[in-house]
Amino acid sequence: MSMTDAYIGLGSNLNGPADQLHTAIKSLQQLPATTLMRTSSLYRTRPVGPEDQPDYINAVTWIKTGLSASDLLDHMQAIEDSQGRTRHIHWGPRTLDLDLLLFGESIIHDVDLNVPHPEMHKRGFVLYPLYEISPEIIIPGFGPIMELLQNTNPDEVQKLPGS
């Protein structure tokens, strides 16, 4: 079976955000034909979108998977649903947000899936944890992560101690 490196962004700002991420990581470890390779530290960031919501806790995981990108997305959405994710407000508060950031070197533009994630190249809350676990990575269509980090503000991303 062919295995693909995939990176998943995790975020939460409701109902014990750090616990939400730890639960999601355990669920990702249980996916069929998938091995969890590394998980970043946890990072606190201000919300994107409505500002009258709590700060987010974010992380990135690196997996190797035999699943297709669309099957992986289906599993990720099932994990979100199992943890009480609702989709009422665009960029609103949430118990869990799982984003497929990268799927090998694929560039995918489907109705339900865009890979690389279309905003990841300018979001510190994605780039800093991704850099932590894969500092040499090149984002297809955007370039080396080191170059992308130069356009972000490190003060907007706070690594949580002991995470």
The closest alpha carbon to 12, from 63, 122, 86, belongs to 86
DSSP string for the chain:
---EEEEEEEEE-SSSHHHHHHHHHHHHHTSTTEEEEEEPPPEEEPPSS-SSSPPEEEEEEEEEESS-HHHHHHHHHHHHHHTT----STT---S-EEEEEEETT--EE-SS-EES-TTGGG-HHHHHHHHHH-TT-EETTTEEHHHHHTTS-GGGEEEPTT-
Looking at the annotation, which residues are catalytic? 85, 94, 97, 99
